[in-house]
């Protein structure tokens, strides 16, 4: 069975690139928010998040940065905290045929909110 022809024939390549990145970003957010983290586990958690998302279809690359400033602000007396959306700065790069989309989440100070959005779309 040709999955692309069967299930994605009703959308454009551009829409598919956005869809793949957006669904992965939602999965990342809801899977990892609440994960215990501290300054010693920050890097390994970033790597785990990147590597797990790269397994999904059309994901070309993932860059995860847990903001150290937000992590430090949230530390408890037990020397760890739970990952929150305001700590995340993530870019997911999707590639479908000749279209690359960059889906991003970052904390926007003016909104006081971790916003998910389409940062860029390019065609080869």
Pairing of β 36-37 and β 81-82? antiparallel
Please state the pTM of the whole predicted model: 0.93
How confident is the model over 39-53, as a mean pLDDT?
Answer: 97
pLDDT attached to residue 9: 87
Contact 105, 25 (CB under 8 A): yes
pLDDT above 70 as % of the chain:
99
The boundaries of the domain holding residue 75 are 3-123
Domain total in the chain: 1
Rounded distance between C-alpha atoms, residue 85 and residue 115, angstroms = 9
CATH of the domain at 57: 3.30.1300.20
């Amino acid at each position: 069975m040709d999955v692309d022809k069967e299930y994605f024939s009703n959308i454009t390549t551009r829409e598919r690139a956005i869809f793949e990145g957006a669904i992965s970003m939602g999965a990342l957010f809801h899977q990892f928010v609440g994960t215990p983290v501290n300054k010693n586990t920050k890097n390994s958690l970033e790597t785990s998040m990147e590597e797990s998302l790269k397994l999904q279809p059309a994901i070309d690359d993932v860059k995860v940065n847990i903001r150290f400033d937000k992590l430090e602000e949230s530390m408890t007396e037990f020397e760890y905290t739970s990952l929150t959306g305001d700590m995340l700065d993530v870019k997911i790069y999707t590639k479908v045929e000749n279209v690359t989309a960059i889906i991003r989440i970052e904390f926007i100070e003016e909104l006081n909110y971790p916003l998910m959005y389409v940062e860029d779309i390019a065609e080869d």
